[in-house]
Structure 1
Amino acid sequence: MPENSAAVLREPRGSLVVERVPLPGPAADEVVVRVRAVAVNPVDWVIQGTGPVTYRWLRAPAVLGSDVAGEVVAVGSGVTRFAVGDRVVGLATGTDRGRDPMHEGAFQEHTALLERLTAPISPELSDDQAAVLPLGASTAACALFQPKHLGLPLPGAADAPRERSGVVVVWGGSTSVGMNAVQLARAAGYTVVSTASPRNAETVRSLGAEVVVDHGAPTAVDDLVAAVAGRSVVGAVALGTTSTAACIEVLRRTGGTVLAMASTPVSLDGVAGRRRLLPGALPVFTRLGLATLGLTLRARRAGIRAAFVWGSSLRDDAMGPELWGRVLPEGLADGSIRPVPEPLVVGHGLDAVQSAIDRQRAGVSARKVVVTL
């Protein structure tokens, strides 16, 4: 029987500790994967640093992490798409409410993945390249295709109109979610206008954005409105602390009525690094609540339907199996979707996961921090 180790959050706000943990067994709808690479997302340091407030349901000990690539070592009784030995990439949802973070957290040598949130890896794709995909692609897909957000038809959907028209606005096109939103919207047949820094603009254009404006320019909103050029705007995806206010203005001026918010309007970076979370962080959380309320009211007054995106919510709807069972495998095979951003491998082994989380919190641009195992 294989052994298993994990980088474990032993106590709230503690550092990750590598230790032996039970080997997960697959439920009927799960595969157990020998993990070969994991990627780090901002949510990992948010949970580690602010979990007692933001993830109050999560109890220690816990294994964090969402992005997994590796090979299948066991399959559940109901699994039909995978067999032992298959190379796969998948979304681990162990830190969600009602899930088991020790059973299905990413930062361990073996983890359980739901079959419906797992896709095959082609021989041409390395584990570290594949590992960047799961949470970014899933969050982007939720923003674009879930009915409570933009509600667009998925790429290749049988019941979708043959001709699709309209513009999708993606503010923050060089972020992990933004890159995936750009290419998924293009794969679905829509025109995309986006923002990025000048050094990342060409990368965002290469993913299918028709126009990329400088998000730091004082004329960024005017430039996006000009890029829309009077065409119908089917919605906007907001990424970054200032993105929601900017997208509301773009939508107000272009007639768009749907906004998917994928970032908070106040960064939690400063609070996550505090020695003590409370009471010192209360002013930050108060600003966050007031800013969110103010933006929601502003959107409502402008006739815009705005809602926050939860990237793993596709686990419980019909879009999850469609995205992971058809759209991603087909898109990766024909080149219309590629795993983005580029991986930034910062270490090997579970001992490197904590420093990888710290590296992500320090800031990366158009890359995704990855650890190989």
Structure 2
Amino acid sequence: MTIVASWVWKVPENSPPQAAAGLSIVGLTAATGLFNDIGLPLPPSVAQGTSDEGAAAPEGTLVIWGAATGVGMAAVQFARAARVSSIIAIASSKRHEYLNTLGATQTFDYNDTDVTEKVKSALKSTSGTIWALDARGSPESQALLKKAIPQHDKAVLASVMLGGDPGYKGIMGARHFDVEFELPGGQKMTWRKDMAAADRHWRGFRWAAENYGAPGGYVPTPVRVFEGSGEDAIKEVYNVKNMGTFGKLVLKHPLKQLDLYWYDRQMWTGLSSLG
């Protein structure tokens, strides 16, 4: 397999392969969502030579629906590195304490029947910008997060779901080349090659790679390794889709009982968990 050099990153020495396998998937998605789509400044340590170099800390509140997903946990940490002082994490109450250790300043349980009103109340005092990230990626999460945003002079919304509510910017992590595809139902999606955007999301991701496991740096998030048959692997992927797991799901290759694919050595494939 051959890839362009700009897609390669050095795996931190303290990162096990199963963690590295999923890091770029959730990291690049979170980085492009925050530093391209909703417009946060880059962390100072990776901003040299950009318009963000020497910039003041951003003023506003970031609110993340699905903050305990793989993308959500990365986004909390990138926002902390970008000096966002107010980070609202919406997730299961079981994950609140952990999200606080990553950098969340307020937490809300998406299972509460009045969660949107609670979040809206917390956001009303926001000065600056409200940045809203749907890290869950479903029509329901988009609708609920949008409902939680109060009337405000400046609000920017982005989602990992493509082709959903047009009020959200759809997050696309690959910006080094043109991307075109058609969703079920016929909706065509197009992202043109944008090397400036690619540079920003790689710089953001680089912060995680360079500060992986360091004090005040990127906190390694939970990884669950699956080793088994291809059929069972598909079931695990559906568990991820249905919010049935926590952390990143990583499939260990070669999968058992697969006749279509052969590998001469073990490899790791990472999938972002939506747990």
TM, length-normalised to structure 1 = 0.54
Q: How does 1:196-235 map to 2 (within 5 A)?
A: 196-228=91-123, 230-232=125-127, 233-235=129-131
SS in 2 for 1:365: coil
Give % identity: 25
- The answer to whether 1:189 aligns with 2:66 is no
What are the ranges of 5 or more consecutive residues in structure 1 without an aligned counterpart? 1-23, 31-113, 265-288, 300-305
Q: Is the 8 A contact 2:88 2:106 kept in 1?
A: yes
Q: Which runs of 5+ in 2 are unaligned?
A: 178-192, 253-265, 267-275
C-alpha distance in structure 1 between counterparts of 2:232 and 2:153, whole Å: 45
* CA distance, structure 2, for counterparts of residue 208 and residue 253 of structure 1: 26
Counterpart contact for 1:225–1:254, Cα < 8 Å: no
Question: Is the CA contact 1:172–1:239 (under 8 Å) kept in the aligned structure 2?
Answer: yes
Deviation at 1:353, TM superposition (A): 4.9
1:310 pairs, out of 167, 172, 177, with 172
When the two structures are aligned, how many residues end up with a matched partner?
221
Q: CA RMSD in A?
A: 2.4
Alignment match of 2:14 (pick from 124, 127, 151): 124
* Equivalent residue in structure 1 for 2:198, among 304, 320, 326: 320
Report how far residue 117 of structure 1 moved: 2.5
Partner of 1:175: 69
Report Cα offsets for 1:230-249 as digits up to 9, x if no partner.
12333111133222112222
How far off its partner does 1:218 sit? Answer: 1.5
Match of residue 133 from structure 1? 23
Question: Structure 1: how far apart are the matches of 2:176 and 2:207?
Answer: 14
The alpha-carbon deviation at position 128 of structure 1 amounts to 0.8
CA separation of 1:323/1:330 partners in 2, compared to 1, >3 Å: closer, same or farther? Answer: farther
1:255 CA drift (Å): 4.2
Which residue is 1:262 aligned to? Answer: 160
Q: Distance in 1 between matches of 2:201 and 2:173?
A: 12
Residue 321 to residue 121, structure 1, CA distance change in 2 (3 Å): same
Q: Which residue of 1 aligns with 2:35?
A: 145
Q: State the 1:120 CA deviation.
A: 1.4
One-letter amino acid of the structure 2 residue matched with residue 234 of structure 1: I
Show the counterpart of 2:186: none
Which letter maps to 1:320? Answer: A
Which protein is bigger by CA-based radius of gyration?
A: 1
- Distance of aligned partners of 1:353 and 1:139 in 2 relative to their CA distance in 1, 3 Å threshold: farther
Aligned partner of residue 132 in structure 1, secondary structure: helix
Instruction: Name the SS of the counterpart of 2:151 in structure 1.
Output: helix
Letter in 1 for 2:223: P
Compare relative contact order (CA 8 Å, sep 6+) and give the higher one, 1 or 2. 2
Counterparts in 2 of 1:189 and 1:328: CA distance versus 1, 3 Å: same
Q: For 1:195 and 1:321, locate their aligned partners in 2 and report how far apart those are by CA, in whole Å.
A: 29
* Aligned-partner Cα distance in 2 for 1:333–1:359: 27
Q: 2:123 touches 2:149 (CA, 8 Å); kept in 1? A: no
